Amino acid sequence: METALLQALLSGSAIGSAYALVALGFSVTFTTTKTLNFSHGEFVSAGAFVGMSVLFLAVGKPLTANSFGGADPGSLAQIGALLAALSVMGVIGWLLYLLGVRPFAGRPGMAWVMSTLGFGVILQSIGLAIWGPKPVVVPAPVGDSVIRVLGVGVRPQELLMLGVSLVVMLGFDHVMRRTMVGKAMRAVAHSSSVASLMGINVNATMIGAFVVSSALAGLSGFLLAPVAQASLFLGLAVGLKGFSAAMVGGLSNPRGCVVGGFLLGILESLVNLWSAQWREVAIFALVILVLAFRPTGLFGSRLAEKV
């Protein structure tokens, strides 16, 4: 029983790190622009397919291939694919802000909600036209042999996903709290008008928020692809659970979003020991329970209304 629990904790932490990256992306755009990218799940899938396409080219296959056929792209190709996924998704995030958010920001209503949803539908439709709906098995950069840790079997890709995610999250936390860029983003999050008067380029900061958020989604998809297979529908569940993690942890608190991601991942893995059919029930029951008693999330700041 102890071995099974340890297995669940390791696996849950690995998948939870992917949820945490997505939740962190939601937090970045919400705190900076007071908007959300409701096509974030499609960005996760797109990141997986951009990276996969670079790997196909590295082994001499066309972009539209549906199998690697046992070919090993190599470490350099994997690094190139990762950089390509981050870069392309960052550019797409920039386009999303310019075309789908900025024209509607500050106006009455929530037109940006439909524009971001529509952007995701367009992105998925383009992907289906190029690659089709069939999932693709993507070779892991660290191999598929199972590693034994304290008697528990774990895939190297899961450890890599956990390690990379932790490094990225710690690096992001350092940037936000110790650098001028982070201070500028926090100032815009507090008040864009005051930040503008202080000489901060608010528009560039908001663009940066969407670029970073989209790159985090792409990173999540790239790391998940060797574990769950690359699929244009991969991001649907990951995006929804990432958003749920952000709500549980508190959208206004990046650290809380990270904790929420790991919490949901571990809960999902623990419930899976008992009955896989109840995973989604347990996760969203927790979300509803938390929001019922803490509408701003476990670590979110309470909003005081002035009358």
Which pLDDT score is estimated for 122?
A: 93
Name, in order, each residue with C-beta under 8 angstroms of 50's C-beta and a sequence gap of 6 or more.
81, 84, 85, 88, 89, 218, 222
Cβ-contact 255, 297 below 8 angstroms: no
Name, in order, each residue with C-beta under 8 angstroms of 65's C-beta and a sequence gap of 6 or more.
56
Query: Does residue 182 carry a pLDDT above 90?
Result: no
Cβ-contact 21, 220 below 8 angstroms: yes
Q: Tell me the one-letter amino acid at 33.
A: T
User: Residues, the chain, total?
Assistant: 307
pLDDT band at 4 (very low <50, low <70, confident <90, very high): confident
Mean of pLDDT values over 137-146: 84
Query: Does residue 76 carry a pLDDT above 70?
Result: yes
Residues 217-268 have pLDDT tens digits of 999 999 999 988 889 888 889 999 999 999 999 998 999 999 999 999 999 9
pLDDT band at 306 (very low <50, low <70, confident <90, very high): very low
For 139, the 3-state DSSP assignment is coil
Q: Is 199 left (phi over 0), alpha (psi -120 to 50) or beta?
A: left
pTM of the model: 0.92
- Treating both helix axes as pointing N-terminal to C-terminal, what angle do 180-190 and 202-228 enclose, rounded to 10 degrees? 110
Query: Does residue 276 carry a pLDDT above 50?
Result: yes
Which pLDDT score is estimated for 305?
A: 42
Burial class of 99 by CB neighbour count within 10 A (0 to 12, 13 to 18, 19+): exposed
Mean of pLDDT values over 126-151: 84
Q: Tell me the one-letter amino acid at 173.
A: D
